[in-house]
Amino acid sequence: MQFNKENRNMYILLGVAVLVILAGMITLIIWGSSGRGGGTPTASVDAIYTAAYQTVAAAQTAQQASLPPTDTPAPSPSPTSPAAATQPINTLVFASPTTGAAQGCDNSAFVSDVTIPDGTVMSPGQTFTKTWLMQNTGTCAWDTTYNIAFVSGDAMSGAKTPLTLSVPPGQQVKVSVNLTAPTTLGDAKGYWRLMNASGVFFGDSPWVLIKVAAATPTATTAPPTSTNTSAPPTNTPTPTTKAP
């Protein structure tokens, strides 16, 4: 519908222009005839074309006013920059008691004791499992070729123990070893450390500290025994004397 309306307006403009030109030509003819008779021309050629131009311009202005306003598309908002968008960040950071910032491929940080806090009292020869929570602070992942191994102090019959799962950088893992308390009374402390597949120690050295003490005998109380040994009185018959 919009296309047909614009064509109609164009045809109207062309018709108006043609009419103006025809009017000008007729005026020129009349002027020429009157000129030969010695009369004064009533209109000049320039005035005729000026009038035609003004007529066409007025028609164009009216056409533009009749057209509906064109909707100007609003500028689309620029996408939010990645820096402004909320990004999940890792806020879980643990300070290492013996090492500084993470460096190199293999590195670790002690996080906490999971079992057997320092100073736990054990009986001589008692078996137990010590577990530490360790964090991978290096740039390489740990796998099952990595071990927790004894370094120094009291080994408590502990052996090198491999990890049971893969640990990506930044993640934590529970590392355990099976130990046996010494038979000697007193404190026992052993240092352990993670070892890579090449047998190289790295990272923090967590320890296990126990106190070996003799078992306290349990006091038993026997039920009281009766000290009353007197026999119940018996009735002894009095002998009678027969008269002669």
Structure confidence by residue, pLDDT tens digits, 113-145: 999 999 999 999 999 999 999 999 999 999 999
Domain spanning 108-212, CATH architecture: Sandwich (2.60)
Most confident stretch, 2-16, 142-156, 203-217 = 142-156
3-state secondary structure 33-75: HHHHCCCCCCCCHHHHHHHHHHHHHHHHHHHHHHCCCCCCCCC
Answer whether residue 154 shows pLDDT above 90.
yes
CB 208 within 8 A of CB 116: yes
CB 188 within 8 A of CB 182: yes
Average pLDDT, the chain: 74
Nearest Cα to Cα of residue 152 among 208, 197, 114: 208
Residue 141 exposed, middle or buried by CB count within 10 Å (0-12, 13-18, 19+): middle
Distance CA(234)–CA(85), nearest Å, equals: 108
What percentage of the chain reaches a pLDDT higher than 70? 53
Nearest Cα to Cα of residue 151 among 86, 200, 112, 108: 200
Q: Beta strands of the chain (E only): which ranges?
A: 108-113, 120-122, 127-136, 147-153, 161-162, 172-180, 186-195, 201-202, 207-212
pLDDT digits (tens, 9 = 90+) for 158-199: 999 999 999 999 999 999 999 999 999 999 999 999 999 999
**Average pLDDT of span 151-157:** 97
pLDDT digits (tens, 9 = 90+) for 24-74: 777 667 666 555 544 444 445 565 556 656 655 665 665 565 555 555 555
Ranges of each domain in the chain = 2-64, 108-212
Distance CA(53)–CA(27), nearest Å, equals: 16
The model's pTM: 0.49
